[in-house]
Structure 1
Amino acid sequence: MGYLHLPGLGKAHFHEYGTGQKPLLAFHGYGMTGKQFHVLEQSIIPQYHIYGFDHFFHGESRLDGWTEQQILTGMPKTMVRNYMEEWFKLYGRQRFSVMGYSIGANIALILVEEYADLIDVVILMAPDGLAVFKGFHFILHNKLGRGIFRTATKSKWLAPFLIKSLKKLRFIDESLYTIAYNEIDTEQKRLDTYYTLNLIRLLKPDVKHIAQQINQHKIKCLLIFGKHDQLFPKSAAMPFLGMLDNAEVHEVELGHWLVTKALDEYLVK
């Protein structure tokens, strides 16, 4: 494990694991840490040396001197380059691969956008960033939605009420309800959720350009979706998939909670 000292941002903590030699930078989903991909012990871990990064407000990554207003404005997309430039300072400029699950896919995709000529493989699991998710867009970019999000963060009862209402109206299923509820049941968790989603609100990949870069540099792509995922389903990603020349796409009998032993066993087969 170690840290990248990202100029103007803070310390990004990463975990190192895997028995392969090829470097792979990995970005986890909400509420997890960079160790999340440990579970892929038969499929991914034997192939790569993984650098699994903790998102800010997760694990041991820490922003340096950011005010609340800066966090709510959002991290500029250009700062994603700092991850690679600082990593290169430690390990030398070399070819690498990227992996992202859920919200972590935004950073992985932006690295493809910026460093396509150096990337061998892109692995995306239930990825955010390939299409606009209306729920996130509402609470992060709509004035009314941002107000509701802030109020729910400060309230002990409103956030649980909203989550239960979404489940009752079938906007989310039982698995998403469980994930969401476990992340808003304390004031600190609600605040971490609020800060996390606002910090990354500007990290929107240019999917058309990324698809062009993937095709031009013949980057190997593996995309995995949960058949029962109501958050980032395959259907929402179809325009992006249609732009790729030769992607390997899987839809498995899982929901959004995708990085599991069941997925590991599926990938091995």
Structure 2
Amino acid sequence: MGFLHIDGLGKAHYHEYGTGSKPMLAFHGYGMTGRQFHVLEKSILNDFHVYGFDHFFHGESALTGWSEQQILTGMPRHLVKAYVKEWFKLHGRQRFSVMGYSIGANIALILVEEYPGLIDEVILMAPDGLAVYKGFEILMHKPWGRYMFKVVTKSKWLAPSLLKNLKRVNFIDDSLYTIAYNEIDTEKKRLDVYYTLNLIRLLKPDVQKIAELINQHDIKCTLIFGKHDNLFPKKAALPFISSLQNAHVHEVDMGHWLVTKQLDEYLVNLPQ
């Protein structure tokens, strides 16, 4: 494990694991850490040496000198490129791959956009960023939605009530409800949700450009979706998928919670 010291941002903490030799920069989902992908030991970790980054407000990553207003304005895109610049300083300029789950896919996609000539492979699981997700769009970019998000964050009962209603209408499944509920049961946790989603609100990949770059540079692309995922389903990503020439697309019999031993078994047993 180690830290990247990124000017204008702070300390980005990363975990190292995997028995493979090929470097992979990985970005986890909400409420986890950069260790999230360690369960994929039979499949991905056999081929790659993973550098799994903690998002800010997760794990040991820490912003330096950021005011609340700066956080709510959002992190500029150019600071994502700085992750790799600083990683190169420690590990040398070299080819690498990227992986992202859920909200972490946004960062992985932006790195494809910024470093297409150096990327060998991109693996995305239940990815955010391939289509506009109306819920996040309202909470992050509509004035009334941003106000509502702030009010819910400050309230002890509104957030749990909202989650229960989302579960009731099958917008989220039982596993996602349990995970989400455990992330909002204290004021600090609710603030971490609020600050995390605001910090990444400007990290919007240009998916049309990314598809063109993946095709142009013949980047191996694997996309994995949960058949029962109502958060980031495959159907929302179909325009992106249709623009790729040789993507490997999988829809597994799971929900949004994909990074598990079950997925590891699925991947390791794929026909060669």
Deviation (angstroms), 1:8:
0.2
1:148 partner letter: M
Distance 2:16 2:147 in 1: 39
Describe how 1:47-86 pairs up with structure 2 within 5 A. Answer: 47-86=47-86
What amino acid sits opposite 2:5 in the alignment? H
What residue identity is the alignment partner of 2:128? D
1:235 matches 2:235 = yes
Matched, 1:256 2:256: yes
Provide, for residues 15-46 of structure 1, a one-character-per-residue CA deviation record: whole Å limited to 9, x for no partner.
00111111000000000000000000100111
Which residue of structure 2 lines up, in the alignment, with residue 183 of structure 1?
Answer: 183
State the AA in 2 paired with 1:76: P
In the TM superposition, what is the alpha-carbon distance from 1:167 to its structure 2 partner? 1.8
Q: Secondary structure at the match of 1:99?
A: strand
* 1:7 has 2:7 as partner: yes
TM-score by length of 1: 0.99
How far 1:172 sits from its partner (Å)?
A: 2.3
Who is 1:163 aligned against?
163
**Distance of 2:25 and 2:98 partners within structure 1:** 5
Alpha-carbon distance in 2 for matches of 1:90, 1:143: 41
Which residue number corresponds to residue 203 of structure 2? 203
Which residue matches 2:244? 244
Cα distance between partner residues in 2 of 1:170 and 1:13: 35
- Tell me, in whole angstroms, the C-alpha distance in 2 between the residues paired with 1:149 and 1:31: 18
Moved more, 96-105 or 166-175: 166-175
| Residue 42 (structure 2) aligns with | 42
Decide whether the 8 Å contact of 2:173 with 2:255 is kept in 1: no
Q: CA deviation at 1:63?
A: 0.1
Alignment partner, residue 133 of structure 2: 133
- State the shift of 1:165 in Å: 1.6
Quick check: 2:160–2:181 contact (8 Å CA) kept in 1?
yes
Return the alpha-carbon distance in structure 2 between the equivalents of residues 60 and 17 of structure 1. 17
Structure 1 residue 179: deviation in Å? 2.1
Runs of 5+ consecutive residues of structure 1 not aligned to the other structure: none
Return the letter of the residue paired with 2:157.
W
**In structure 2, distance between residues paired with 1:81 and 1:37:** 22
Supply the distance in 2 between the matched residues of 1:173 and 1:14 (Cα, whole angstroms). 30
**1:52 CA drift (Å):** 0.3
Amino acid at match of 1:169: V
Q: How far apart are the structure 2 equivalents of 1:55 and 1:235?
A: 27
**What is aligned with 1:146?**
146
Amino acid at match of 1:146: R
User: Could you tell me how far apart the structure 2 residues matched to 1:178 and 1:239 are?
Assistant: 31
The Cα shift of 1:7 comes to: 0.9
Q: Give the whole-Å Cα distance in 2 for the aligned partners of 1:113 and 1:138.
A: 25
Please state whether the residue corresponding to 1:127 is helix, strand or coil.
coil
SS in structure 2 at match of 1:46:
helix
RMSD between aligned residues:
0.7
> For residues 218 and 252 of structure 2, what CA distance do their matches in structure 1 show?
25
2-side partners of 1:20 and 1:164: how far apart? Answer: 42
Matches of 1:220 and 1:197 in 2, distance apart? 29
Which stretch has the larger CA shift, 97-106 or 170-179? 170-179
2:263 & 2:173 partners in 1: Cα distance?
A: 20
- What is the one-letter code of the residue matched to 1:231? L
Q: Matched residue of 2:212: which SS? A: helix
TM-score calculated relative to the size of structure 2: 0.98
Alignment coverage as a number of residue pairs: 269
Residue of structure 1 in register with 2:32 after alignment: 32
Q: Which runs of 4+ in 1 moved over 3 A?
A: none
Q: Corresponding residue for 1:98?
A: 98
Q: Which amino acid aligns with 1:202?
A: L
Task: Tell me, in whole angstroms, the C-alpha distance in 1 between the residues paired with 2:159 and 2:184.
Answer: 7
Q: 1:130-179: per-residue Cα shift (whole Å, max 9, x none)?
A: 00111111111111111111011111111111111222233323222222
Q: Which residue of 2 aligns with 1:110?
A: 110
Identity of aligned residues (%): 75
In the TM superposition, residue 183 of structure 1 has moved relative to its aligned partner by 1.0
After TM superposition, the structure 1 stretch with the greater mean CA deviation from structure 2, 168-177 or 109-118, is 168-177
Give the Cα separation in 2 of the matches to 1:166 and 1:124.
Answer: 25
**Distance in 1 between the 2:73 and 2:169 partners?**
31
Distance 2:8 2:148 in 1: 30
